[in-house]
Structure 1
Amino acid sequence: MLSFLVRRIGMMFFILFLVSVIVFAIVNVLPGDPALLILGDEATPEMLESLRDDMGLNDPIYIQYFDWLVAAVQGDFGTSLRDSTPVMEVVLSTLPVTLQLTVMSFAIAIIIAIPAGIISATRRGTVWDYTSTVFSISGVSLPPFWLGILLIYLFSVTLGWFPPSGYVSPFDNLGQSLMLMILPAITIGIRLSAELTRMLRSTLLEVLESDYIRTAYSKGLLERPVVFGHAMKNALIPVITISGLQLATFLGGAVITETIFGVPGLGQLVVNSIMTRDFPVVQASILFMAVAVVLINFLVDILYSVIDPRIKLSGGAK
């Protein structure tokens, strides 16, 4: 257990180091002069050169990276080129928004996918199975931007049940916050639930055909304890993998959904920062996304052993 944790933590730091190198290199080759963005078009060449010296832009690229990395490790990602606000403050202000959208979307996906996948697998060939299959194919096939616009037209414009866009913190007005976030959460949750339903159906069907399941039925056990007590533990392993990857994507920011519904999350922040050439914010945002991905993958690996004790954290199945 300890050796596994040490290896994985070391791998996490190595991956984050590679991500930081790639992000810093890509951002620095993008067109646009940060000094010109700060001072404007009316700045003289002398003023631009002086600011570049102050910002270290004239230093060799490896010196710039080392200085940036040392400051980033200490939580200092510089200041935004748009309004001189500390980058850390800008990024942290969007994280609760994206986290709320992620939790609501994931909850909707689980509520739909688990019952649909179980019913589809245990009622194979029935109308329930066909309905679940159609839902899975449709949910994966529908583009998020189209589904989001359709939900706005149906539930906001036509029925007037939910507001079309905007955001209110749940700490300010919980009811209004849920009303504003329910449509973007459904937009994301439908696609994830379709993927999870299809995956759970496939794996559960395979497990239900195993010898130990037949043995359980031959001993007189009822369907419910066999499915939930034996089959689900093994069927959930690939489902957890997909869920972890999707959850990491959500934390990275559902860019299209946040843009359509006007949700000021991390994804929309990255898009706006790229459009305005706000390089420090772009670097910090992508690094936060990378941290979310490696942490969630780490937690998924640990969760494997909790669900199935046969999977050992030391690296192999016993």
Structure 2
Amino acid sequence: MTAYIARRLIGFGVTLLVAAMVIFYLLDLLPGDPAQFILGINATPDSVARLRLQMGLDAPAYQRFVEWLGGMLRGDFGMSYTQRAPVASLIWDRLGVTLPLALAAMVISILVGLPLGILAARRRGKALDTSIMVLAQTGVAIPNFWFGMLLTLIFAVGLRWLPPGGFTPWGEDSGAALRGLILPSLALALPQASILARVMRTSLVEVAGQDFIRTARAKGLTMDEALWRHGVRNAMLPVLTILGLQFAYLIAGTIVVENVFYLPGLGRLIYTAILERDLILVRGATIILIIAVTSTMLLTDIAYAVVDPRLREGSRT
């Protein structure tokens, strides 16, 4: 187990390093001068040159990458030139919206998707199974931004139960902040719950044909009892992988939903920074998203090894 975790940690570090290089150099290759873009077309050459010097754009790319990487390791992500604030503080403030949004969407998708998948598997081939799978397929096909606008029309504009957008800081009114995340988290959770239901149903149906289920039935258990006592845990192995991928998607996929609901999260921060050509802010916020995604995948791999002893045994061979 220790060797398995060590290999995953090494892979985690290599992935982050490669991702940092790709982000830095791809953004560096974008056409146009960021300093000229920030100052505008009427800026004088001297003012552009001074800003380029302040931004460090006059140094070679490899030198700027090493300085940027070293700064991040110290917790210094640089200074945003459009918002005149440290990038780290801007990211930290926005994570207070993005992380609760992603976590709420994840909880909703689990609470909805897994029970529906188990119910469909227990009623395999019947009308309930078909109905759940049709709903799941529809949920996968519907774009989350469209579903978010539909929720806004129903619950905000029509019923006036929830706010249509915006966000109240947690320190001012935590209840209002929580209400502001309900509709966007539902919009994010719909396709993920649909995917979980389909995967759980398929995995549990496959497990139902295994020998240990037949043995449990021979001992007097009903099919429902055998699946619930012995099948669900074994069916969770592929679901764990999907859960890790989904949480990574939810963290990185908040850009669209945050813009639909005008949430001041990390996704909207990246979108605004791209429009303003604030490359240092784009780099910092993007690398934070990548760290969150890769960390989620690392924890998923470790959880998979805990559940499946074959991975631990394979790490010793």
Per-residue CA deviations over 1:225-268 (Å, capped at 9, x if unaligned) read 42233211221111111111110122224111111111111111
Per-residue CA deviations over 1:147-197 (Å, capped at 9, x if unaligned) read 111111111111111110011234432321222111111111111100000
Per-residue CA deviations over 1:20-65 (Å, capped at 9, x if unaligned) read 1110011112234233345444442223223323432122211111
User: What pairs up with 1:51-70 in 2 under 5 angstroms?
Assistant: 51-70=51-70
Task: Kindly tell me the number of residue pairs found equivalent between the two proteins.
Answer: 317
RMSD: 1.8
TM-score (norm 1): 0.94
Q: What's the counterpart of residue 95 of structure 1?
A: 95
Q: What's the counterpart of residue 146 of structure 1?
A: 146
Q: What's the counterpart of residue 133 of structure 1?
A: 133
What is the CA–CA distance in structure 2 between the aligned matches of 1:112 and 1:178, rounded to whole Å? 19
Per-residue CA deviations over 1:276-310 (Å, capped at 9, x if unaligned) read 10111100111011111111111111111333334
Whether the 8 Å CA contact 1:39–1:48 is kept in 2: the answer is: yes
Per-residue CA deviations over 1:83-135 (Å, capped at 9, x if unaligned) read 22000011111112011111111111111111111110011122221221111
Q: What's the counterpart of residue 31 of structure 1?
A: 31
Q: What's the counterpart of residue 194 of structure 2?
A: 194
Which secondary structure does the structure 1 equivalent of 2:62 belong to? helix
Q: What's the counterpart of residue 247 of structure 2?
A: 247
Which secondary structure does the structure 2 equivalent of 1:169 belong to? coil
Whether the 8 Å CA contact 2:5–2:302 is kept in 1: the answer is: no
What is the CA–CA distance in structure 2 between the aligned matches of 1:55 and 1:261, rounded to whole Å? 33
Residue range with higher mean Cα deviation, 69-78 or 34-43: 34-43
What is the CA–CA distance in structure 2 between the aligned matches of 1:23 and 1:244, rounded to whole Å? 23
Whether the 8 Å CA contact 1:148–1:260 is kept in 2: the answer is: yes
Which secondary structure does the structure 1 equivalent of 2:85 belong to? coil
The answer to whether structure 1 residue 115 and structure 2 residue 115 are counterparts is yes
Change (3 A) 1:110 1:22: same
Which secondary structure does the structure 2 equivalent of 1:312 belong to? helix
Change (3 A) 1:221 1:191: same
Letter in 2 for 1:80: S
Q: What's the counterpart of residue 305 of structure 1?
A: 305
Letter in 1 for 2:61: I
Which secondary structure does the structure 1 equivalent of 2:217 belong to? helix
Which secondary structure does the structure 1 equivalent of 2:75 belong to? coil
Which secondary structure does the structure 2 equivalent of 1:215 belong to? helix
What is the CA–CA distance in structure 1 between the aligned matches of 2:313 and 2:193, rounded to whole Å? 29
What is the CA–CA distance in structure 2 between the aligned matches of 1:276 and 1:31, rounded to whole Å? 14
The answer to whether structure 1 residue 233 and structure 2 residue 233 are counterparts is yes
What is the CA–CA distance in structure 2 between the aligned matches of 1:164 and 1:52, rounded to whole Å? 41
- Percent identity between the two aligned chains: 37
Change (3 A) 1:6 1:310: closer
What is the CA–CA distance in structure 1 between the aligned matches of 2:96 and 2:55, rounded to whole Å? 31
Q: What's the counterpart of residue 174 of structure 1?
A: 174
The answer to whether structure 1 residue 10 and structure 2 residue 16 are counterparts is no
Whether the 8 Å CA contact 1:32–1:277 is kept in 2: the answer is: no
Q: Which runs of 5+ in 2 are unaligned?
A: none
Which secondary structure does the structure 1 equivalent of 2:137 belong to? helix
Q: What's the counterpart of residue 212 of structure 2?
A: 212
Q: What's the counterpart of residue 266 of structure 2?
A: 266
Residue range with higher mean Cα deviation, 31-40 or 75-84: 31-40
Whether the 8 Å CA contact 1:113–1:196 is kept in 2: the answer is: yes
What is the CA–CA distance in structure 2 between the aligned matches of 1:286 and 1:87, rounded to whole Å? 11
Which secondary structure does the structure 1 equivalent of 2:81 belong to? coil
Letter in 2 for 1:64: R
Whether the 8 Å CA contact 1:305–1:313 is kept in 2: the answer is: no
Which secondary structure does the structure 2 equivalent of 1:262 belong to? coil
Q: What's the counterpart of residue 184 of structure 1?
A: 184
Whether the 8 Å CA contact 1:234–1:308 is kept in 2: the answer is: no
Q: What's the counterpart of residue 22 of structure 2?
A: 22
What is the CA–CA distance in structure 1 between the aligned matches of 2:101 and 2:301, rounded to whole Å? 24
What is the CA–CA distance in structure 2 between the aligned matches of 1:25 and 1:222, rounded to whole Å? 60
Change (3 A) 1:205 1:146: same
Letter in 2 for 1:227: L
Letter in 1 for 2:244: G
Whether the 8 Å CA contact 2:4–2:312 is kept in 1: the answer is: no
Letter in 2 for 1:294: T
Q: Note the C-alpha offset of 1:313.
A: 6.5
Q: Which runs of 5+ in 1 are unaligned?
A: none
